[in-house]
Structure 1
């Protein structure tokens, strides 16, 4: 079914940067504080520090909590997305899950620097990842409401770019307002880790404020079915639809599988980027945050440029080129002897991550049958979670193999090879898949 048959509140393809696009992308801007500040660079570093006891034990507890969250996401997001499609309640569930995300994030203020609060903090991080994913499935599904075949790449890239820029500003405010304040104020006090606990409140407010435009401007999606799907029947309906999809469009199924692999490699670049910067190249925490800020700037530029190339060359060409660039830049990081090399090749990694992420989303959006956006993006999330062990496992395995073979302190560098292996496998799986066909109005744009 063509995009022209979908409900779209925006008119002509040439007017893609509308109030709907801005409102949609604003949510990504706000949610970036949760990913960049809470889950990736700041709060989890606090939670796995010596303030909570043995660092290895704290890391293990955090990984266990996140594993529980990952299982919940894998089991629930396709069904919740499908039910939101059927009932025409995408925006409602974005709002519900965003508010839940904000409340969970704000509760991080009560994670005091004591081992007794370790599990509480870890479960909050896991709950944030679950709420964020639930909201994100329906958020991604809105992409087809606010774009056309000729603009879906630009709109997707713009959303990713806005998310990166939001992360940049949030990280900068956290660094210079809480972690390493440029002027002293009561909220910057390190007594009882007040400054780091207030980071949770700041992130919650940032997320809420920038979600408001979507709440008030984006219209609710129309119901895709005249009858609601009973909860007890949801999984049976989902499995029938997957079986039907396998018979009708194996290409979409293969894309979900291949994208799951290379997206795990993309996620690992950010997950382990800070770890490698600190452990292999000797960056201090403040330097890691500064690199994260600059890296997000580069990633934002890459996502926006990649989005425009997406609409010209197609998403498969953008993803393929990005993965090749990532493999070359990753090799550069591996062979770099000093921090200067990490800055150069690490920023090149950031440049190619954005286009790959944005084009993967637009690729799927182009393939989805109308009215099944939430369901398909739910499967997109689930397949990603199903293989999310790959990059961490190969990262760890490469380090374990290298440990007895190299000098002390050098084994972590070899974890980079594990991440590159995941990206290479994802690229190999992507190459045989057919690229989405351009519709007539897209080809003429």
Structure 2
């Protein structure tokens, strides 16, 4: 009996003009989702949910205490019978979302590899996530449970849509182009995120003049981020039509992967995912990168997720000051992404990422030492984060795209996305636990140095040329 043939990759044939238009449509999804990532996930929602949770645990401020300069509520919330500090709630939601993502996202990638219309998967997940993001306008009073659920749904859908989005980079750019194309996508995202954040800064600063309290202004800002994400997703939904047709993986005769109804495709994709994970040791360099990325990107994502909480709760900064700081991060990160792409072309993506990790360690140490109320120093720190943020994220994506096994791009990007932006888990878990044990965010932020050090050491051991060669072999 002949052994089943391995699935083989197939790409739609596009002219250079068609590929250019498809790339521009692809860039716009970064523009679309980054508005949610910046306004909601990074700046406003975590401290807002923290305030809602603390109000529910300590109504009227009863029982609040001051520790290390930060006002906290010592009364724990009960989540399925487990005591949770209100100040850790938002970080624990992100942690749970990522643990769930580790199960869901690789399966999403397996389905995407076999989908005849990956853009429909992308836009479907995006629109569900955008709906959850817009519904955050209803989180008020003591509705912290609603807020946590909406954050969970939005995080999962963001991760699922980005699995498909990132995997399309392989179809839209040749290997030698990916550093540049990926950097442009991230730069487009920072531009979109900065534009909406600037508009929301105006709204927050003018709340009194408009007859709004700060809570209402924050909720309206959350609504705009969800609407922005959903509306601009129309561009890639329409602009990537030419990628429809044959799936990236065509199931050969005799394969165990069924084709047909949705349920059969999902079950077949899950079965193939199990076989792919069993064959993963055949790609040791790809796995080494994933483990390194899990550590250093966990550090990056935790800094992003915790920055607004740290600034407001520990340093005593106002909401509009936090928005200004994150806006500065966006603007500098746009330039940083383009700069890193140019540096990587002259050196290498790996060397550029390693250099950025050294700067990240300095940023974390400096953040731990900033005195409360020093907004000017916080802005300097924000600019430093922006300088390395764009390059770290853009080049990690393009480097990984060269290490993924041929014909299994979306499956492997599902694993990658489990540690991608907005879905950090180990870092946020450590950060939340350290705060819960110490009552201070300073030791919590200091704990993140470990993630950058471990990630950098592992990345230094990566042999990119060998990993690229391994990825080009026939998929087990």
TM-score by structure 2 length? 0.80
Work out whether residues 299 and 350 of structure 1, in 8 Å CA contact, stay in contact via their aligned partners in 2: yes
Picking from 228, 247, 250, the partner of 1:225 is 250
Please state how far the C-alpha of 1:420 moved relative to its aligned partner.
Answer: 1.4
Work out whether residues 431 and 445 of structure 2, in 8 Å CA contact, stay in contact via their aligned partners in 1: yes
Picking from 258, 276, 288, the partner of 2:322 is 288
Partner of 1:87, secondary structure, is coil
Tell me the equivalent position of 1:240: 275
Please state how far the C-alpha of 1:184 moved relative to its aligned partner.
Answer: 4.0
Map 1:116-265 → 2, pairs under 5 A: 117-177=143-203, 179-181=204-206, 184-185=209-210, 189-190=212-213, 193-218=215-240, 219-221=242-244, 222-223=246-247, 224-226=249-251, 227-228=258-259, 230-247=265-282, 249-265=283-299
Work out whether residues 325 and 378 of structure 2, in 8 Å CA contact, stay in contact via their aligned partners in 1: no
Work out whether residues 95 and 429 of structure 2, in 8 Å CA contact, stay in contact via their aligned partners in 1: no
Tell me the equivalent position of 2:382: 346
* More deviation, 102-111/53-62: 53-62
Tell me the equivalent position of 2:308: 274
Tell me the equivalent position of 1:434: 463
Please state how far the C-alpha of 1:374 moved relative to its aligned partner.
Answer: 0.9
Work out whether residues 333 and 390 of structure 2, in 8 Å CA contact, stay in contact via their aligned partners in 1: yes
Partner of 1:150, secondary structure, is helix
Please state how far the C-alpha of 1:203 moved relative to its aligned partner.
Answer: 1.5
Whole-Å separation in 2 of the counterparts to 1:194 and 1:329: 33
Tell me the equivalent position of 2:62: none
Picking from 419, 437, 447, the partner of 1:418 is 447
Picking from 334, 342, 367, the partner of 1:300 is 334
Work out whether residues 61 and 119 of structure 1, in 8 Å CA contact, stay in contact via their aligned partners in 2: no
Whole-Å separation in 2 of the counterparts to 1:211 and 1:383: 23
Tell me the equivalent position of 2:356: 322
Partner of 1:433, secondary structure, is coil
Please state how far the C-alpha of 1:65 moved relative to its aligned partner.
Answer: 4.1
1:32-70 deviations in whole A, cap 9, x for unaligned?
121122222113322221584236644455445444433
Please state how far the C-alpha of 1:9 moved relative to its aligned partner.
Answer: 3.6
Please state how far the C-alpha of 1:351 moved relative to its aligned partner.
Answer: 0.8
Determine if the alignment matches structure 1 residue 93 to structure 2 residue 115: no
Unaligned runs of 5+ in 2: 1-8, 58-72, 78-85, 252-257, 469-476
Partner of 2:174, secondary structure, is coil
Whole-Å separation in 2 of the counterparts to 1:209 and 1:68: 28
1:264-298 deviations in whole A, cap 9, x for unaligned?
01101211222333344332111011000011111
Please state how far the C-alpha of 1:257 moved relative to its aligned partner.
Answer: 1.1
1:254–1:124 distance in 2 versus 1, CA, 3 Å? same
Unaligned runs of 5+ in 1: 404-410, 440-445
Whole-Å separation in 1 of the counterparts to 2:364 and 2:97: 29
Tell me the equivalent position of 1:367: 403
Partner of 1:151, secondary structure, is helix
TM-score by structure 1 length? 0.85
1:340-364 deviations in whole A, cap 9, x for unaligned?
3332233212211211111110011
Whole-Å separation in 2 of the counterparts to 1:66 and 1:47: 12
Report the RMSD for the aligned CA atoms in angstroms. 3.1
Whole-Å separation in 1 of the counterparts to 2:280 and 2:238: 34
Work out whether residues 281 and 342 of structure 1, in 8 Å CA contact, stay in contact via their aligned partners in 2: no
